[in-house]
Structure formats: structure tokens, C-alpha cells
Amino acid sequence: MSFLSQLINGLSVGSIYALIALGYTMVYGIAKMLNFAHGDVIMVGAYTIFTAVSMLGLDYWIAIILSVVFCTVLGIVIEKIAYKPLRKASPLTVLITAIGVSYLLQNIVLLIYGSHQRPFPKIISVKSIKIGENLVISGEAFFTMVITIVIMIILTLFIKNSKTGRAMVAVSEDKGAAELMGINVNRIISITFAIGSGLAAIAGLFFASTYGFIGPYSGAMPGIKAFIAAVLGGIGSIPGAMLGGILLGVVEGLSKAYISTELSDAIVFSILIVILLFKPSGLLGKNVTEKV
């Protein structure tokens, strides 16, 4: 494969990471917590589509809508049961709970569907695009990129212009002041979780279609990588999540092609360490000074 097609592969995987990273970054910005279970919501989303299409024989579009709705509800339920009682607890407590939730989701799916990998139904059927002699963009990659860009534009407009979106920005800047201005902070946090989880369902669809198989643990790795992407772009910043996701996807794709498949994960993780060393606030993040 030529360099260009490797690059396009990387861009396509990167836009999936960007979608997942959006969920991380929004929740981190507003609830100030790392939602470890976010990666597993992706997996649950993919399994929902799998169940609806392969087991129940439903239509693709119904399956996708079902998956988005299910993940949105799941996100809200997780927030209400596991995270809401811990609003005032230490970050360590919240983080351990989130790890617990992530494990819980993995193991529930493991018990229901078994540990073996399932073939994911071919849902996205877009014809490959041929440019010139040897550059072929697969339909899935193209579709993924286009949908990701559309979602990002809608999300940015929503946050900039709608009342709820502006309330989200306010909560992320100063929770106390936002509450005094009459914003229902709990409601805003729930909405954030809902949006993040809904995006995760769509990311799950793309991720599973790209790789063709799903297993109970298949959400963990993209989840961690998307978090790295969010940190790379500057956690809390939405354009940062897009940039970080796409950069990470490209780096991963190129190192898989030109260095080593097995070491590509190690390379991606090393990027995280290097970024945190030299620019802990990420590429587009703001430096926040700590106040006593």
C-alpha cells in the first residue's frame, strides 16, 4: 500500500478516536472526572447493533437508533448510580469507581455473549472511491470521516449557540457560579453524559465496522487511546479532541505500516508520556493555574 492510502487509513481510524475523545473531553470538562467506562460504552453500543441486526434481524437504521438510545440511557444511568453520590468525594475515589464500572460492563457482556469474538454485520455499504492509479479510499473510511466531521460541526454549533450548550460551558468554567446563575448543574452533567454516550454508540458502530469483529474487551483499548487523544489535544477542549484523535490515528497507522504492528501500541503510549512531559495541558489546552 502506498503512503497516501496508509495516511487515509490513519485519518479514518483517527476520526473514530476523535469521536470517542469528544465524550472523554466533554465529561472531563464538566464533571472533572475521567470516565473510565467510556470505552466500554462503545463496546456495549456495538453489541447492541450486533444483537439487533444479527440476532433479531432488525433493519440497520432501527438498530443504529436503538444503539444510540440504549447507550444514551446507559450513560445517564451510570452517572446517576455510580458517579452522582461521589460529587464531593476525592478524585481517587471517583476514578476507582469508574474503573469498577468499566469492569462491570465488560463482565456483564462477557457473561451474556461469551468471551469469543463475534463477526460484526456489514452495515455501511458505500462504494470504494478510486483516485488515480493506486489510491483507493474504502467506502467505510470515507463514510466514517464524513459523518465525524458533520457530528463535530453540529456539536460545536450546539455548544456555541444553544442555551444548554452555553450552560455546559458555564458549568465547566465555574460550577458554583453557574449554580448561582440558576443553572441546574446536575441536569447539565446528565446531558453531558448522555451526549458523550450517544457519540460513543456511533463510534462503536464505526469501530466495529472497521475491524469486523467485536469482543467484550474490544472497547478498552480504543477507549484508552481516545483518552490519550483527548490529552494530546488538551483535555476539556473540543477542537483539541478532534485534532488529537486524528493525529493519534495517523501516527498509529503509519507506525503500524512502517515500524512494527506489535509495537504500535507502545509507540502511541510513549506519545502520551512525551506530551505530558513537555506540554501537560495538551496542544490546544489552556494552562490553568491552581488557586488555593
Partner 1 sequence: MGAKSEKNKPFPGGIGRFRQKYDNNFLISFGIMIAIFLFCFLMIATGNATRHFKSLLVPAGINIILAISLNLVVGILGELSLGHAGFMSVGAYAGCLFSIYTQELFPIGVRFPLSLLVGGLVAAFFGLVIGVPVLRLKGDYLAIVTLAFGEIIRSVIINLDFTGGAAGLKNIEKHTTYTSVFIIILITLFVILNLINSRHGRAIMAIRDNRIAAESLGVNITYFKLLSFILAAFFAGIAGVLYGHNIGSLTAAQFDYNRSIEILVMVVLGGMGNIKGSIISAILITIIPEMLRGADKYRMLFYSIILIIMMLLNASPRFAEFKRKIRIKNLASALKSKSRQKEEV
Residues forming contacts to partner 1 in the complex (CB under 8 A) are 28, 33-34, 82, 85-86, 88-97, 99-104, 106-108, 110-111, 220, 224, 227-228, 231, 260, 262-263, 265-266, 269-270, 272-273, 276-277, 280, 290, 292
Provide, rounded to whole angstroms, the least separation between the CB of residue 123 and partner 1. Answer: 30
Beta carbon nearer to partner 1, 86 or 136: 86
Beta carbon nearer to partner 1, 111 or 131: 111
Provide, rounded to whole angstroms, the least separation between the CB of residue 10 and partner 1. Answer: 19
Provide, rounded to whole angstroms, the least separation between the CB of residue 221 and partner 1. Answer: 9
Q: Is there a contact between 223 and 272 (Cβ–Cβ < 8 Å)?
A: no
Provide, rounded to whole angstroms, the least separation between the CB of residue 266 and partner 1. Answer: 5
Q: How far is CA 47 from the centre of its chain?
A: 16
DSSP of 156-216, one letter per residue? HHHHHHSHHHHHHHHHHH-HHHHHHTT--HHHHHHHHHHHHHHHHHHHHHHHHHHHSEE-T
Q: Look up residue 51 and give its three cell numbers.
A: 444483537
Beta carbon nearer to partner 1, 52 or 228: 228
Beta carbon nearer to partner 1, 85 or 212: 85
Beta carbon nearer to partner 1, 95 or 135: 95
Beta carbon nearer to partner 1, 202 or 224: 224
Q: Look up residue 99 and give its three cell numbers.
A: 474503573
Provide, rounded to whole angstroms, the least separation between the CB of residue 143 and partner 1. Answer: 30
Shortest CA distance to 24 belongs to which of 176, 284, 261, 245? 245
Provide, rounded to whole angstroms, the least separation between the CB of residue 86 and partner 1. Answer: 5
Question: Which residues 6+ apart lie within 8 Å of 102 measured at CB?
Answer: 36, 37, 39, 40, 220, 223
Q: How far is CA 52 from the centre of its chain?
A: 22
CA–CA gap between residue 160 and residue 206 (Å, rounded): 27
The amino acid that residue 228 corresponds to is: I
